[in-house]
Amino acid sequence: AVANMLFGAISGAGTAAASAMGSIIGPIEEEEGYDRDFSAAANIATAPTGLLIPPSNVMITYSLVSGGTSVAALFMAGYIPGILWGLACMAVIFYFAKKKGYRSTKKYSNSEKAIPCLLMIVIVIGGIISGIFTATEGSVVAVVYSLILSLFFYKSIKFSELPKIFLDSAEMTGIIIFLIGVSSIMSWVMAFTGIPT
């Protein structure tokens, strides 16, 4: 839940959060003995927090369609609902995890190493709200910042691995864009034909 909330604060898309967290956390949870259905449900339920916690693609689209509603104001309005949603999901997930006896066998140390990563949220949101860069430019800043951290601070990736990373990113982006495109077409068809009514 927390991972999806933080990812939502970076990507601004629920689909992207679900895809990324599912591919990263899913295998780890499977190793820990978590039920796959439970893991998928937890990921799906928490992924939409990315639509509320800024920067959000939906809010940017709304700003354009509404004729100039302040993106910064919309971003500030999304924090409380997004965090409440995430906390509510965490409570439900905690209850069922406790009931089913799920426990993590891995212990993580050096939590201070997470501070540079968490600073990315401050940099991106602070830059957008202060007007230093736009929401779209903020995503570029986030990518460059995370690349610098990975290469030089954490040293988790090597320069020789970059081509494969770029290829994997392009593939994942293609899948996400396709899903967003198809869902947008479906939304238009439903609105045009009046299916909800």
- Are the C-beta atoms of residues 46 and 4 closer than 8 Å to each other? yes
Q: What is the mean pLDDT of the chain?
A: 80
Burial of 56 (0-12, 13-18, 19+ CB in 10 A): buried
d(CA 150, CA 146): 6
Average pLDDT estimate for 47-75: 74
User: What tens digit of pLDDT does each residue of 78-116 get?
Assistant: 888 888 888 998 999 889 888 888 777 666 566 667 788
Q: What is the pLDDT of residue 123?
A: 85
d(CA 36, CA 94): 16
Burial of 21 (0-12, 13-18, 19+ CB in 10 A): buried
Q: CA 96 from chain center: how many Å?
A: 23
pLDDT tops 70 at residue 54: yes
- Indicate if the alpha-carbon torsion angle 43, 45, 50, 53 is positive or negative: negative
User: Coil, strand, or helix at residue 102?
Assistant: coil
**Half-sphere exposure (Cβ direction) of 185: Cα atoms closer than 13 Å:** 6
d(CA 80, CA 86): 10
Tell me the whole-structure pTM to 2 decimals: 0.58
Q: What is the pLDDT of residue 2?
A: 77
User: Nearest 5°: phi and psi at 71?
Assistant: -65, -40
